[in-house]
Amino acid sequence: MDAQTAILRHDGRVLGLVCGGHFMSHIYLIALPPLFPLLQAELGLSYAELGLLVTVFYAASSVTQMPVGMLVDRIGGPLVVALGLGLEGASFALMGVAQGYAALLALAAAAGLGHSVFHPADFAILSATIDDSRVGRAFSLHTFAGHLGTALSPALLVFLAAFWGWRGALGAVGVLGLVGMVAILAMRGPLTGEIAARSAARAKSAPAESGDAPRGLALLLSWPMLMMLVFFICTALTTSAVRTFSVAALDAIHATPVAAAAAALTAYLTASAAGVLAGGYLADRTRRHDLVAGVAFAITGVLFMLVAAVALPAGMLLSVFLVAGFLQGTVRPQRDMLVRARATRGTLGRAYGYVSTGAAAGNAAAPMLDPRPRPCRLGILRRRPVHADQPSRRRLRPPPGAAVTGTLGSTGGNHENRRQLPLRLHHLRGRGRP
């Protein structure tokens, strides 16, 4: 076996472990919502209480990514990701036997803490162990594994619940996480040794870092890292807003049929996953990751401005969402490579934890946006058309003088005329009449 084959096999093993853990983390990410009706029927919980479980999970994951990144830099990524996967798996398994709401809340928080390890630890492991000529593709495969886990999670949980109920479904996926933990722990020794050896080799071959190179808090507050934090917030905000509100916004702005809007969203999500893979190949073939990410993100913005301004036919709307999703997917490996290039030696974990916190903030902020159109002086956004079965205010305007005379002059007139009086006077005032 030649050296190149050995390297490829090694990279395949590392990718299998890291991407497998990331796949499982996204299975857990939306494991609870598909089971809400079953939990409500058995435990008598409201949907507000069930939604709080998800909120607690996301909150615990968001606020702990930065401390976890610092832990990765101190004790190494393999141990941290193994413990995180084990904690998340054990938490979901215990949810399957929990008897009260308080226990579910505590386990959701523990699962969120376990979930927080994957981006800081995984990217640190891949950066340190994968050959530099393939690290962009490694990042894209890692992201794609998360997409795949998110896509399969609802079907998997519902399938398991059909046979074993919601408790059995959560217990089964929890056990899978524990199996993954054991597999990563079995590879921990070789991975840790290799990370140390490759780091030492790169330190010798790379130009010496100047004594004033930013580290710790100075690195995180440096201008390039602050810009990366903002960029992660913006990309996450865009993706989450499109995923959450695109169907509602298209209906509110252009009265787009729900089926056409939903098909466009599906095209966006599918193309985004394909764009992630293509972006990985592109990231390995260019050094201008900033240019690629900036141009792709800018074009995406222009496309969504077009969608907001013009009521596109269904076929063209689908095409625009396809292109926008593909471009948005290509951005992700580029931004990960930018963080890798900026982080100094020994700071990969905290750097990725820092920007991942920004991504979590963007994902949390997007659902608070309001998809309803706002008045626009330039008249760019179209008003929702009025259909025949929806009376228009314009139709209620009376002929000049006639409506007011008839309504005011007949105190004994029918009730319908007296009921419409305020509305008719309102229109007359709007037209400047006394």
Q: What one-character-per-residue DSSP string does 104-172 give?
A: HHHHHHHHHHHHTTHHHHHHHHHHHHS-GGGHHHHHHHHHHHHHHHHHHHHHHHHHHHHHHHHHHHHHH
Find the domain containing 417 and state its range. 393-430
pLDDT (mean) for 21-46: 89
Q: Is the pTM of this model over 0.85?
A: no
My answer on whether 244 and 276 are in the same domain is yes
pLDDT (mean) for 335-340: 89
My answer on whether 27 and 121 are in the same domain is yes
* 208 falls within a domain: no
* 206 falls within a domain: no
pLDDT value, residue 217? 73
My answer on whether 155 and 77 are in the same domain is yes
Q: Place 417 in a pLDDT band, splitting at 50, 70 and 90.
A: very low
My answer on whether 401 and 298 are in the same domain is no
Span of 85-89, 140-144, 248-252, 368-372 with lowest mean pLDDT: 368-372
My answer on whether 221 and 178 are in the same domain is no
pLDDT value, residue 361? 80
Q: Is 197 or 229 the better-scoring residue by pLDDT?
A: 229
Domain count, the chain: 3
* 169 falls within a domain: yes
Distance CA 380, CA 307 (A): 11
Q: Is 212 or 190 the better-scoring residue by pLDDT?
A: 190
My answer on whether 291 and 181 are in the same domain is no
pLDDT value, residue 424? 43
Is pLDDT of 108 > 60? yes
Distance CA 89, CA 95 (A): 10
Q: Return the closest-CA partner of residue 216 out of 33, 104, 350, 416.
A: 350
My answer on whether 415 and 332 are in the same domain is no
Q: What is the CATH number of the domain that holds 241?
A: 1.20.1250
My answer on whether 308 and 422 are in the same domain is no
pLDDT (mean) for 407-419: 44
Question: Final residue of a domain: which of 171, 199, 227?
Answer: 199
My answer on whether 399 and 374 are in the same domain is no
E-state strands within 204-273: none
My answer on whether 339 and 225 are in the same domain is yes
Helices and strands (DSSP H and E) totals, the chain: 18, 0
pLDDT in tens, 242-296: 887 888 888 888 888 988 888 998 899 889 999 999 999 999 998 889 999 999 9
pLDDT in tens, 158-198: 999 999 999 999 999 999 999 999 988 888 766 666 666 66
Which of the given ranges, 63-72, 216-225, 296-305, has the highest pLDDT on average?
296-305
* 209 falls within a domain: no
Span of 93-97, 147-151, 189-193 with lowest mean pLDDT: 189-193
My answer on whether 183 and 237 are in the same domain is no
Distance CA 68, CA 222 (A): 20
